[in-house]
């Protein structure tokens, strides 16, 4: 073969037509989607960048349905084996690589509890049920304020894979039901059945998305049933292919495409976290993406340079890799350094570099290979080879999934038992208290701020922190052992003294009130207090409490007004949910006034400072030194930016007093994360650690006794 022959063949290869079904404009849409998600996650801009996921859903529904319909039309059958082999080659290798690397670095960088939770997230993601995991944890009150999982973005991939498992089977069933009509040349019957079925799925899913988005937005965001309409929308475009192919080859097609692209781009800015989503908020990006797809269906793409230029095509090609890598990079890097200019540059460079390298040298070669179609040849040392058949790979995959499911089940059972043991053990400890009261260490916890000139060392060492960095996020010590969960009735639990002459005290409120129990448990016996707790999810003691706790608080209020009056009622709630100031103040007064009129003294405990993301990230940052830990905190202005309506309500209610402990959270203009060697907060929801709450006990006791007297 001559050099000229080689050049001719290379030239011919370069002049090959694009592969059948390839749409460069839709590759550009993938670029728009992944860059929108990247910019939103990294920079928080544009406000609706998260709709990039919705664009992916529509594109996936279109591509998968079009592929299945073409195969059926060309071969007269659907090969599940061929379909799933292609899906596995395209999705599994890159996903497994990112999962493995992320879990490995999580165990290096994160505290132990967060690392373990990342492993559990990875197990759910590996069996394509990550959206169920994050739906559950996202609606778990005790996960509020916790830092995000570096694998949270796998929720969308899980929904797509669930669609890939169900839709081909449903499609095959429809083909079977319409086989007789198709044989008689009535192909319109088949198309009508396909369109009607998918229209029904889309309508039901969208309707459910509207309901769930209004009542349970977190569930709606992650749920398969509220998202499948978006994939179904793409499938509808593929089903309507024959009709769309008849659109005139004129300026009509580019106009449709540009109108759709304008709708997609506008959705990035008009949609925000305040939008009811995904129903109806996702309708704009979904319908707009459908329009872009439909514009050039069955026709050559022309005049779409914004989507077909080399830049757009490159990011479209690497979109899957970039989507997989960008979020772990953002989250893991935040555990190593603060969010400054260096962080943003480094995160962008790492995400882009990892996606390019993994796509070029790992993902794409596997995708183009014949893996799982022919025997895989493996060369041993010494030159000998052996083959692994596709059946062997399938069996290995089945065994691996079974092992993952078994591991996940074992970890879930272990976590449940651990929570139950912790609740019962600490509840018992709370009732056995030294009658002499707790001794005060002037250098430990709140005493470091309460006792002036205590001469304590100012160095902070990670190894000596209490609770430890590995455990502080779970440091509740039984505070929630008597707790009204979402949708439940209000429990009533009693603690402390059982003497007949004990002071009858009630504690009422939300999770911030529950975190006062460890402090009260330090002196309720020695002070002869009998404490009854009414604490629960979203249960502020006010007239306009949230719908979920409305009935529970009505029951509680009725008990307060009809049963023997309490001597004292302590109440507090998160300033984060204070709502409109004047309205909240009146709502608190309306609930308190009739109870106070019965002779009960009401003491409103002013809420502790708000907690920022950086305050918590600073404490857990990998390799943090003593100097770094001293800088963990925020200014008083930031910490008390949201006013606490409890204070004004108590001042305006006869028989009510305010217990303000905020001098034990802040020193001057600085509110630190760590006080006297104790990590003060568990999360960005402003929940105290039980350890810090206990250090407040001596000072809380003295102030309460003074107010009651």
DSSP letter string, 405-462? HHHHHHHHHHHHHHHHHHHHHHHHHHT---TT-PPP-TTSTTHHHHSTT--------G
Q: Give residue 492's pLDDT.
A: 93
Residue 317 near residue 27 (C-beta atoms within 8 A): yes
- Per-residue pLDDT, averaged over 129-155, amounts to 84
- Rounded CA-CA distance 417/408 in Å is 14
Beta bridge partners of 568: 505, 601
Longest C-alpha distance within the chain, in Å? 108
Q: Name the nearest CA neighbour of 30 among 238, 308, 298.
A: 308
pLDDT band of 429, cuts 50, 70, 90: very low
Q: Give residue 166's pLDDT.
A: 94
Helix (H) or strand (E) holding 283: helix 283-295
Q: Give residue 236's pLDDT.
A: 97
Residue 264 near residue 56 (C-beta atoms within 8 A): no
Distances (CA, A) of 216 to 50, 212, 534: 19, 5, 24
Residue 430 near residue 495 (C-beta atoms within 8 A): yes
pLDDT band of 248, cuts 50, 70, 90: confident
Q: Name the nearest CA neighbour of 479 among 418, 546, 426, 558.
A: 426
- Give strand ranges (E) for 587-693: 601-605, 633-635, 656-659, 670-672, 674-675, 678-679
Phi, psi of 700 (to 5 degrees): -65, -40
Burial of 368 by CB count in 10 Å (0-12 exposed, 13-18 middle, 19+ buried)?
A: exposed
Of residues 306 and 406, more confidently modeled = 306
pLDDT band of 600, cuts 50, 70, 90: very high
Pick the range with the lowest mean pLDDT from 34-43, 98-107, 342-351, 620-629.
Answer: 620-629
Q: How would you classify the pairing of strands 678-679 and 529-535?
A: unpaired
Q: Give residue 139's pLDDT.
A: 56
Give the three-state DSSP class for 503. Answer: strand
- Rounded CA-CA distance 342/379 in Å is 45
DSSP 360: I
- Rounded CA-CA distance 167/279 in Å is 22
pLDDT band of 19, cuts 50, 70, 90: low
Helix (H) or strand (E) holding 645: helix 645-651
- Rounded CA-CA distance 470/149 in Å is 16
Q: Give residue 419's pLDDT.
A: 56
Give the three-state DSSP class for 502. Answer: coil
What is the pTM (predicted TM-score) of this model? 0.88
- Rounded CA-CA distance 594/556 in Å is 13
Pick the range with the lowest mean pLDDT from 258-272, 381-395, 437-451.
Answer: 381-395
Q: Give residue 598's pLDDT.
A: 95
pLDDT band of 249, cuts 50, 70, 90: confident
Helix (H) or strand (E) holding 53: helix 52-75
Pick the range with the lowest mean pLDDT from 16-20, 179-183, 206-210, 418-422.
Answer: 16-20
- Rounded CA-CA distance 650/601 in Å is 11
pLDDT band of 18, cuts 50, 70, 90: very low
Of residues 602 and 408, more confidently modeled = 602
- Rounded CA-CA distance 180/196 in Å is 18
Q: Give residue 439's pLDDT.
A: 60
- Rounded CA-CA distance 216/236 in Å is 28
User: Would you say residue 440 has pLDDT above 60?
Assistant: yes
Number of neighbouring beta carbons within 10 Å of residue 540: 29
Q: Give residue 455's pLDDT.
A: 76
Residue 59 near residue 344 (C-beta atoms within 8 A): no
Contacts of 424 (CB under 8 A, 6+ apart): 481
Residue 584 near residue 652 (C-beta atoms within 8 A): no
- Rounded CA-CA distance 20/162 in Å is 26
- Per-residue pLDDT, averaged over 400-426, amounts to 66
- Rounded CA-CA distance 4/688 in Å is 77
Pick the range with the lowest mean pLDDT from 182-186, 457-461, 678-682.
Answer: 182-186
Pick the range with the lowest mean pLDDT from 78-82, 209-213, 230-234, 554-558.
Answer: 78-82
How many residues are given for the chain?
709
Q: Give residue 399's pLDDT.
A: 79
DSSP 51: G
Burial of 344 by CB count in 10 Å (0-12 exposed, 13-18 middle, 19+ buried)?
A: middle
User: Would you say residue 384 has pLDDT above 70?
Assistant: no
Q: Give residue 707's pLDDT.
A: 95
- Per-residue pLDDT, averaged over 63-76, amounts to 90
Contacts of 663 (CB under 8 A, 6+ apart): 449, 450
Of residues 410 and 570, more confidently modeled = 570
Q: Give residue 360's pLDDT.
A: 96
Helix (H) or strand (E) holding 504: strand 503-509
Distances (CA, A) of 31 to 19, 42, 117, 685: 19, 16, 31, 35
Give the three-state DSSP class for 362. Answer: helix
Contacts of 581 (CB under 8 A, 6+ apart): 643, 645, 648
**pLDDT tens digits along 469-527:** 999 999 999 899 889 988 889 999 999 999 999 999 999 999 999 999 999 999 999 99
Q: Give residue 178's pLDDT.
A: 86
User: What average pLDDT does the chain have?
Assistant: 88
- Rounded CA-CA distance 618/275 in Å is 31
Q: Give residue 23's pLDDT.
A: 94
Q: How many helices (H) and strands (E) does the chain have?
A: 30, 12
Residue 442 near residue 456 (C-beta atoms within 8 A): yes
Helix (H) or strand (E) holding 505: strand 503-509
Calculate helix-pair angle for 112-126, 390-430, nearest 10 degrees.
140
**pLDDT tens digits along 359-373:** 999 999 998 888 877
**pLDDT tens digits along 303-318:** 999 999 999 999 999 9
- Rounded CA-CA distance 709/705 in Å is 6
Contacts of 289 (CB under 8 A, 6+ apart): 29, 54, 55, 58, 59, 233, 234, 260, 264
Instruction: Starting at the earlier edge strand, list the strands of the sheet with 601-605.
Output: 493-496, 529-535, 503-509, 568-572, 601-605, 656-659
Residue 263 near residue 284 (C-beta atoms within 8 A): yes
- Rounded CA-CA distance 114/108 in Å is 11
Give the three-state DSSP class for 535. Answer: strand
- Rounded CA-CA distance 228/204 in Å is 10
Q: Give residue 4's pLDDT.
A: 39
| CA angle, 516 then 521 then 526, to 5° | 135
Helix (H) or strand (E) holding 82: helix 80-109
Q: Cis omega (within 30 of 0) on the bond before 467?
A: yes
Q: pLDDT over 70 for what percent of the chain?
A: 89
Q: Name the nearest CA neighbour of 300 among 16, 13, 22.
A: 22
- Per-residue pLDDT, averaged over 663-677, amounts to 95
pLDDT band of 3, cuts 50, 70, 90: very low
Residue 86 near residue 78 (C-beta atoms within 8 A): no
Phi, psi of 441 (to 5 degrees): -90, 115
Q: Give residue 380's pLDDT.
A: 65
Distances (CA, A) of 548 to 91, 136, 487: 41, 17, 6
- Per-residue pLDDT, averaged over 557-576, amounts to 94
């Amino acid at each position: 073969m001559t050099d000229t022959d080689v050049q001719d063949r290379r030239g011919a290869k370069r002049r090959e037509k694009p592969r059948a079904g390839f749409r460069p404009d839709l590759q550009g849409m993938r670029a728009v989607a992944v860059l929108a998600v990247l910019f939103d996650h990294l920079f928080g801009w544009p406000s609706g960048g998260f709709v990039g996921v919705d664009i992916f859903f529509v594109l996936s529904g279109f591509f998968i349905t079009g592929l299945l319909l073409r195969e059926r039309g060309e071969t007269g059958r659907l090969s599940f084996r061929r379909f799933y082999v292609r899906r596995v080659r395209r999705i599994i290798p890159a996903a497994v690589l990112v999962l493995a690397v992320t879990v490995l670095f999580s165990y290096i960088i994160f505290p132990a509890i967060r690392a373990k939770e990342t492993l559990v997230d990875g197990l759910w993601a590996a069996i394509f049920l990550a959206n169920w995991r994050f739906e559950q944890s996202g609606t778990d009150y005790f996960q509020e304020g916790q830092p995000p999982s570096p694998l949270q973005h796998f929720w969308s991939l899980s929904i797509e894979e669930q669609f890939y498992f169900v839709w081909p089977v449903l499609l095959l069933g429809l083909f079977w039901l319409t086989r007789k009509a198709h044989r008689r040349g009535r192909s319109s019957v088949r198309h009508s059945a396909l369109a009607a079925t998918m229209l029904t799925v889309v309508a039901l899913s969208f309707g459910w998305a509207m309901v769930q988005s209004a009542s349970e937005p977190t569930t709606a965001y992650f749920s398969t049933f509220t998202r499948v309409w978006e994939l179904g929308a793409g499938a509808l475009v593929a089903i309507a292919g024959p009709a769309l192919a008849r659109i005139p080859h004129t300026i009509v097609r580019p106009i449709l495409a540009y109108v759709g692209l304008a709708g997609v781009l506008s959705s990035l800015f008009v949609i925000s976290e305040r939008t009811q989503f995904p129903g109806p908020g996702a309708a704009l990006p979904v319908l707009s993406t459908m329009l872009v797809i439909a514009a050039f269906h069955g026709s050559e793409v022309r005049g779409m340079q914004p989507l077909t230029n080399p830049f757009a095509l490159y990011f479209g090609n690497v979109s899957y890799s970039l989507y997989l890598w960008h979020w772990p990079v953002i989250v893991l890097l935040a555990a190593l350094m603060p969010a400054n200019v260096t962080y943003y540059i480094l995160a962008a460079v790492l995400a882009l570099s990892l996606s390019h390298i993994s796509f070029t040298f790992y993902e794409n070669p596997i995708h183009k290979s014949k893996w799982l179609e022919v025997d895989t040849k493996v060369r041993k040392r010494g030159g000998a080879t052996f083959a692994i058949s596709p059946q062997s790979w399938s069996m290995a995959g089945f065994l691996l999934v079974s092992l993952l499911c078994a591991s996940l089940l074992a970890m879930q059972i272990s976590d449940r038992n651990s929570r139950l043991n912790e609740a019962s053990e600490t509840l018992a400890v709370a009732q056995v208290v030294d009658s002499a009261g707790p001794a005060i260490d002037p250098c430990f916890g709140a005493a470091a701020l309460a006792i002036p000139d205590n001469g304590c060392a100012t160095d902070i060492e990670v190894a000596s922190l209490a609770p430890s960095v590995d455990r502080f996020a779970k440091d509740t010590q039984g505070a929630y052992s008597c707790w009204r969960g979402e949708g439940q009735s209000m429990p009533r639990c009693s603690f402390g003294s059982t003497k007949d002459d004990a002071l009858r005290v009630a504690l009422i409120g939300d999770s911030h009130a529950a975190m006062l129990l460890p402090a009260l448990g330090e002196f309720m016996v020695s002070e002869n207090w009998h404490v009854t707790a009414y604490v629960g999810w979203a249960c502020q003691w006010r007239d306009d409490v949230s719908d979920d706790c409305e009935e529970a608080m009505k029951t509680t209020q009725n008990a307060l007004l009809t049963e023997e009056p309490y001597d004292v009622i302590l109440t507090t709630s998160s300033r984060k949910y204070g709502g409109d100031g004047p309205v909240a103040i009146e709502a608190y007064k309306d609930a308190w006034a009739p109870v106070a009129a019965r002779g009960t003294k009401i003491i409103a405990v002013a809420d502790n400072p708000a907690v920022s993301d950086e305050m918590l990230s600073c404490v857990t940052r990998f390799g943090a030194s003593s100097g770094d830990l001293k800088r963990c905190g925020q200014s008083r202005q930031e910490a008390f930016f949201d006013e606490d309506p409890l204070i004004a309500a108590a001042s305006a209610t006869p028989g009510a007093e305010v217990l303000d402990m905020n001098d034990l959270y802040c020193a001057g203009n600085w509110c630190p994360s760590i006080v006297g060697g104790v990590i003060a907060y568990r999360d960005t929801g402003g929940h105290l650690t039980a350890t810090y709450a206990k250090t407040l006990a001596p000072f809380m006791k003295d102030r309460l006794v003074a107010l009651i007297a």
